[in-house]
Homo-oligomer: A and B are copies of this chain.
Amino acid sequence: MSFGDRLAGVFADRGRLCVGIDPHAHLLESWGLPASASGVRAFGLAVVAATAGRAGIVKPQVAFFERYGSAGYAALEEVLAAARAAGLLVIADAKRGDIGTSVTAYAEAWLTPGSPLEADAMTIAAFQGVGSIADPMRLAEANGKGLFVLAATSNPEAAAIQQAVVASGARSGLTVARAIIEDVSSFNLAQAPRAFGSIGLVLGATLDLADYGIDTSTAPAANAAPVLAPGFGHQGAQVRDAPRLFGALAGGVIVSESRGLLGAGPAGLADAIEERAEEVRSSHV
């Protein structure tokens, strides 16, 4: 089953809320956990347990596990396995990127069935061109996995690069963000029709996408790119505004939240997720 079809199933069964697994130092401390591999392991497993049955998607931030080296990665492997065993869709927030056999090795690490770091999807950066991630796109598609390609991210200092204008080639005159979206859409459209394409986009919910030269007035009839959208909840964007923010892409929006939920602490997390998941289900139009 393709990633896009699985995502549509999760939307139908559990809704669009994606719970971030972000065990940074400050949160570990407020949760009463050590700043160590065992701390991030306990944190990650607690978020998985609180999410299971209440929302459908989790997004571990790989950096907070890599911080502790191989021991942190062993903790991450346990968290990934627990999440997948609980029926959650897992997006590894890795933001990897490279060329050739290197970027293929990253895709193999995260998107190969049976790999120790197996996830359902990963985030990826195309600073070396969307062509540089062609192999990961094909590998994701072939394995029933997904990719989310950074396009217009929510941090203000990204604007200079992501709004820059392509000066030559097939995407000349488009912004960098828009050119990435066009390349991703072309790939998705060339595949068999599914609920959503295997290759998604990262688009911040706190942005005016028109500032990034992005036209959301139309979307393809099939295989539209799913959208991993940070910026809801704590960061201020409202889920009911998704149609205004994302236009024809709103149907594929994943509502990614971390701080607002994780701040509830280990005792309050399950209730916070349950309440927020229901809000998201009832406010998405």
Contacts and interface: CB of A to CB of B under 8 A. Distances in A.
B105 A161 contact: no
A98 B166 contact: no
Contact of A102 (B63, B74, B116, B176): B63
B116 A97 contact: no
A71 B116 contact: yes
Interface residues of A, number: 63
Interface string A118-130: 0000000111111
A115 interface: yes
Interface in A160-191: 160-169, 171, 175-176, 179
A161 B67 contact: no
Contact of A125 (B26, B127, B159, B165): B127
A74 B73 CA distance: 9
A232 to B, nearest CB: 17
Interface string A131-175: 110000000000000000010010111111111111111010001
Given A128-B153, A164-B167, A63 B103 contact: yes
B127 A155 contact: no
A178 to B, nearest CB: 11
A72 B61 CA distance: 19
B163 A168 contact: yes
